[in-house]
Structure formats: C-alpha cells, structure tokens
Structure 1
C-alpha cells in the first residue's frame, strides 16, 4: 500500500447515531437538514484526519435521499476520501440505516463533499505537505 493510500484508509470516518424524534420532520423521518449537517460533520472529520490541516466545506453535490429514515432507527454516517487534489479533497459520505431490533442495514443517503485546506488568512494551501 502506498503512503497516500494508507493515509486515505486511515482517514475513513464513521459515526453512529440514533434518530430521535427531535431530529425528525412532520413525517417522523430524519429531517434532510439534520442529515446534511451530520454528513458535513463527517466529511470535515475525514478531511481533517487525512490532511491534519484546517479544512472548510466548499461544496456538496449530488446528495441523494433514496429512502426515508424513520425515528427510532440507528444510522451510520460514513465518510471516505475519494479524490485528493492540490488544495482540496472529495469525501464520499453515506448514511446507512438499520432497524434497532432487526439484522441488516441499507444505504439511505449518499453525497459528495469537497473540502479545502486553508491557512490562518483563509487562503487555500496544499492539502498535504509533499
């Protein structure tokens, strides 16, 4: 495994949560804004673990909500680096849902987040030192 591949693998990030009623919409499913917030947080953590620099979100693209996530389910928000640029990385973030008292899980939401490394003046800097 190359040094870059090892660094990418080490940056993979997962967070598990329960969908409580205070995070749901009027249909009693996970509110889309809450899902995006959690996805952005995981993208930030994965990008920071990869670069060990100050990272900011510059875009999210093609977020697909393929199935509702009801209250009282467990979710895993999983992020992985998919592209490394000079000053940015792309992080694929997926949300898997699983019923609390049943086996198995399914992919419910997926999206791509682009994160940029910045310095103290908020100017882009190389994402990794060469």
Structure 2
C-alpha cells in the first residue's frame, strides 16, 4: 500500500457516533460516568480500526485519556475516531468526545484519548494488518 492509498484508507475509516447522555448513564452529579465514557470511546476505537483494516482487532492499551470537563446529562456526545499511527499488526486510534447542548449550536472537546489495537487471527495471535 503506497502513501496515497494509506491516506485514503485512514480517511475512509474515520468514525463518528453521536450518543445522548440520558439519566441511566450519569452519576449522582448528573454527569456521564467515566466508565461509560471509556466504554463509548473504546467502541469507537474498535469500529475505526475494523473499518480501516477489515480484520479482527482487540484493544491492548488506552495510552492517555484526558477528561477536560464534565459531561452533563441532557447533552449530546459526539465521538470521533481517527487513525493516527499504523504499524505492522497494531494501530493507534485517537478518539475525541465533543460535547454539544441538545438545544444549542456548537461543540467543545470534553475528552480526548488514544487507544492501541492489534489485529488478530482466530487463535488470537497478532497478524499483519496488510498482507
């Protein structure tokens, strides 16, 4: 795969998911549970990796997740996953959670994290992303 093809594949794999922050996902402060945030981000990282490599992927690390502000109930959370690095059998996906008021225009970055995923075979052994 040449550089132009790689850039195109990375662009095609970009993933956006929008979720509503409802009461069943918030804590006693009426903000999104951190665990739910990480789960949503990991799901977007997985989808992004799979769309890119069309292989089975597993998460091996979340390298850094910065919670810049609380995510209140009654808002939208737009999660955006983009590939930032591609190795032989692993890749890195950056996931940003953009906070948006349901009845307001505009977004602000509330959370940002980096997830490393590895392509695996049926025996759960690492395999090259590209043959």
TM-score, normalization: structure 2? 0.97
Match of 2:96 among 79, 82, 94: 94
* Per-residue deviation, 1:127: 1.2
| Number of residue pairs matched by the alignment | 129
- Structure 2: gaps spanning 5 or more residues: none
Describe how 1:19-38 pairs up with structure 2 within 5 A: 19-38=21-40
Counterpart position of 1:123:
125
Runs (4 or more) in structure 1 with deviation over 4 Å come to none
Q: Distance in 2 between matches of 1:26 and 1:61?
A: 28
Deviation at 1:20, TM superposition (A): 0.2
Report the TM-score, using the length of structure 1 for normalisation.
0.97
- The unaligned stretches of length 5 or more in structure 1 are none
Q: Within 2, Cα distance between the matches of 1:64 and 1:26?
A: 21
Task: Provide the residue aligned with 1:11 in structure 2.
Answer: 13
2:115 to 113, 116, 124: 113
Q: Deviations over 1:39-84 (max 9, x none)?
A: 0000000000000000000000110000001000011011000000
Query: Over aligned residues, Cα RMSD in angstroms?
Result: 0.8
* Equivalent position of 2:60 in the other structure: 58
